[in-house]
Chains A and B, each alone.
Chain A
Amino acid sequence: MILKNLRAQNVLKYAHLVLSEIPEKGLIAISGRNESGKTAIVESICFALFGRTFSVPENKLEQIIRWKESSCQVELQFKGRDNETYRVERSLNHKGTHAAQMFRENEEEPFVSGPHSVNEAVYEVCDFDFSQYLDALYLAQREISTPHSQSETIKAIAGATDLEEILDELKCDIEYEKNRIHSLDADVSETVRQINELNISNQALENIEQERRTLNDRTHEAEQAARSLDTTADNIQAGCSRVQTAGKAIATTHIDTSLKDWTDMIDELDSQISTMRDSCEGIETDSDLCAEQSKLHQQVTELGNRLDAFADVQDRMDAYRAQLASLLDEGDTNHEELGTERPLPGQQKDISRQIRRITLKNVACQFGILSLTIITLGNLFVWFQSSTTFDPAATEWLHGTLDQLAGAWSRHFVQISHMTATVFAIATGILVFYSMAFSQRIRELKKQRDTLRERIDDLQTRARLIDDSDTRPLPELIAGLEKLHNAGISQRLTIFTQGMGFPFVNQPALTTEQDRLLDMLNICMNSVSDLRESIAIEIGRHQRIIEESHERTEELNAEQEDIRQRREEISQLREQVDNMATRKIRHEEHIRTLELSRHLIRGTCRNIYNRFNQVLSKYTGMVMPKLTDGRYKQMQIADDLSVRVFSQDKNDFGELEEFSSGTQRQMLLAVRLAMSKALIEAAEQGKQFIILDEPFAFFDRERVRATLDALPKVDKNLDQIWIITQEFTDTKPFALHIECSRDSDELIIGQFGQ
């Protein structure tokens, strides 16, 4: 870049500043006393190029406006590295409003507008920015020093800006990753703390389970107890009803009730009382109803005992019945063992057998009588016919028949017929006698048989009385028994009817007992009501236990649910911890990658800087002899840009501090010029200007002269060299000499912009 024309209005000291047709090659001198406006010229150039200056802070840019003026304008025409001519116009008012435009040569319309766009366009055509300009092309007043190794200019010139920026980005990334890890660690700690807060011991859950089981058992027991009590109450109620039924059956029974019915009713009542009492086994009560010897039970027992007193009578009845059985030949009774007569049926059979035998004999006798009578009559007929001639024909027929039947004996038969008739008549008389005796005997036997039959009937009646003793009404039975005229029975019966069995044979006494029984039943009924009430109270107690257990179970369920939720939360938190640990590992892995990246970039930058320093050392070695009149030729620039110079006197490299101040300034000026050369070459600038503001502060006259001679020879592209100082003893080396006056606010050289 080569400056061609400059025009400024109200900038710093100058109301008007015009520099026209500035020489493109050679030294340009700006001289003048203090506060004569020398630096204002280069500040105007700087403002025109970059919109800011070296001496005025960027946030107070309006300070460059001339005192008492409201705005300033500056216009700079320059030739860029593309060898094209550009013009930059800037204006600034006291409010800080900054306007800029950039034009190509011979164009009326700007190709960019606005300070930012113009700055970018200037960078495009110059390839250096404000900082590089300050470090490499503008040596400010008395600011000759070694450039800092980390300066942006060095990085830019060396081409490491992007790498350095990436290095910074990676550093930020590493910091970010570390912060993320730190944040993750904090999150993990917080999560672990939350887990610890939420954590619960297994013992708590076991305790809940244990308590739940206990409650379940307790509830189950209470429910069972309540059901049992309810069932017991129902059983007692039902039992009481059955007792009432059985009791009222006794209480309302007429006296004409059989022994068996009495026994059955009393046994039934006793059984129902026992059943009802057994129903009380599941409960604890002092109710008389459930007592082993309740009044009702005692009453029933007494009735039973009274009835049992009949057992003595029954024993006698049984003994008597056995005798009857023996007489009636029932069963296997042995009359000899009992000492009774033979069984009457047997006797009856014997008599009947005798009757039949005698009857048979009698019939035989009667048949004999008949036969003998016929024979007798026949003999009498034969004898009569044979002894008379009353009917010869008949006599003839008779003799003929007899001859046919008896043959020779017929005659004899007729002769003895009267005798045989007599014999047979006698025999008939005998048989008649026997027949009469048999008939008499038969009549006697039949009479005996009838008597036995009557006895058997009587005995059977007695036996039926005894056999039916259970079903016969008791009074009727007793009356029947009394009629048996059995001494034993009668005696026991008297004891029974006048003693224990009195209520069963006496209606008033029975009524009294029945009334007592009814009273007892009423008491039983009332006791059942009381008992049910107490059972209900007990059931209520169990219900409360059940309700309390349910409530506690609900609480335990809530606790268990809470524990379950907390466990789920813990699980989620642990999952988060695992995720965070995984993320931390990834961040750490990324940090390692980033650090390795930084290592690689640093290595790359180191190579770049080493190469740049080598070139810079070489350039400095080329420039320095020209500034020191050949006294110092070799220079080493370390990585940190610290400078060591080879001293011929010392025959070794020495530190910069070992040389005089003037020599140090010359050496550092050489470094700056070398950097300018490097920048020009690196940017492939072509022709370039450089501004040196008061570079010869500690230079002696010879060195000033030598430097002025050497400057145009430093680099073939470093054509336009601006040098500012208070005065020059010799103005011959300069292509243009600008003299500034402290008393004038105008500096016009040439006609640019007019």
Chain B
Amino acid sequence: MSILSWLGIRQRFMRRSALDEFNEFIKEEKTLQRGTDNHFDEQQFDKAVDLIRDRLKKRGYKP
């Protein structure tokens, strides 16, 4: 119980890099989209990802 309480206390809100959050999401999303029956336009997906990464890069995020 004390261990769980300690873990609960230690569960602090750690703000992560938006680029990291985004990379994590697109990794999951890409895997998800590839697994669906819908036609997945990977080229356009990559283009959209590059666009966002470029915008984030302009805001000082480093890959």
- Contact surface of A with B, Cβ cutoff 8 Å: 157-160, 162-163, 165-166, 169, 592-594, 596-597, 599-601, 603-604, 607-608, 612, 615-616, 618-619, 677-678, 681-683
A158 touches B8 (CB 8 A): no
Docked pose: A156 CA to B62 CA in angstroms: 19
CB distance from B12 to the nearest CB of A (A): 5
Docked pose: A683 CA to B15 CA in angstroms: 8
Given that A596-B48, A615-B11, A681-B12 are known contacts, is A166 also in contact with B56, CB under 8 Å in the complex?
Answer: yes
11 additional A-B pairs beyond A604-B25, A604-B26, beta carbons within 8 Å, are A159-B16, A166-B52, A597-B49, A599-B48, A604-B22, A607-B21, A608-B21, A612-B13, A618-B11, A677-B13, A682-B14
A603 touches B29 (CB 8 A): yes
B48 CB contact (under 8 Å) in A160, A593, A615, A681: A593
A603 touches B25 (CB 8 A): yes
A166 touches B55 (CB 8 A): yes
CB distance from B48 to the nearest CB of A (A): 4
B52 CB contact (under 8 Å) in A157, A601, A607: A601
Given that A162-B59, A618-B8 are known contacts, is A596 also in contact with B15, CB under 8 Å in the complex?
Answer: no
Docked pose: A165 CA to B61 CA in angstroms: 14
Docked pose: A24 CA to B60 CA in angstroms: 35
Please, which residue of chain A has its CB at the minimum distance from the CB of B9? A622
Q: Is B36 at the interface (CB under 8 A from chain A)?
A: no
B11 contacts which chain A residues (CB < 8 A)?
A: 615, 618
B22 contacts which chain A residues (CB < 8 A)?
A: 163, 600-601, 604
Please, which residue of chain B has its CB at the minimum distance from the CB of A615? B13
Number of interface residues of B (CB under 8 A): 26
B48 touches A597 (CB 8 A): yes
B16 contacts which chain A residues (CB < 8 A)?
A: 159, 608
A159 touches B18 (CB 8 A): yes
Q: Which of B8-63 contact A (CB under 8 A)?
A: 8, 11-18, 21-22, 24-26, 29, 44-45, 47-49, 51-52, 55-56, 59, 61
Docked pose: A225 CA to B11 CA in angstroms: 113
B56 contacts which chain A residues (CB < 8 A)?
A: 162, 166
B48 contacts which chain A residues (CB < 8 A)?
A: 593-594, 596-597, 599-600
Most buried by A among B15, B47, B49: B15
A677 contacts which chain B residues (CB < 8 A)?
A: 13
A615 contacts which chain B residues (CB < 8 A)?
A: 11-13
A600 touches B12 (CB 8 A): no
B51 contacts which chain A residues (CB < 8 A)?
A: 593-594, 597
Given that A600-B48, A612-B13, A618-B8 are known contacts, is A162 also in contact with B21, CB under 8 Å in the complex?
Answer: no
Docked pose: A603 CA to B55 CA in angstroms: 17
A599 contacts which chain B residues (CB < 8 A)?
A: 48
B29 touches A600 (CB 8 A): yes
B15 touches A600 (CB 8 A): no
Docked pose: A604 CA to B16 CA in angstroms: 12
A160 contacts which chain B residues (CB < 8 A)?
A: 18, 21
B55 touches A169 (CB 8 A): yes
Which 9 residue pairs across A and B have the least CB separation, nearest first? A159-B15, A682-B15, A596-B48, A615-B13, A597-B48, A604-B25, A604-B22, A166-B55, A678-B13
CB distance from B16 to the nearest CB of A (A): 6
Docked pose: A599 CA to B26 CA in angstroms: 10
Given that A594-B51, A682-B15 are known contacts, is A163 also in contact with B29, CB under 8 Å in the complex?
Answer: no
Docked pose: A619 CA to B8 CA in angstroms: 10
B24 contacts which chain A residues (CB < 8 A)?
A: 607
B45 contacts which chain A residues (CB < 8 A)?
A: 596
B15 CB contact (under 8 Å) in A157, A603, A604: A157
Docked pose: A619 CA to B16 CA in angstroms: 18
Given that A600-B49, A618-B8, A678-B13 are known contacts, is A163 also in contact with B44, CB under 8 Å in the complex?
Answer: no
Please, which residue of chain A has its CB at the minimum distance from the CB of B30? A600
CB distance from A391 to the nearest CB of B (A): 183
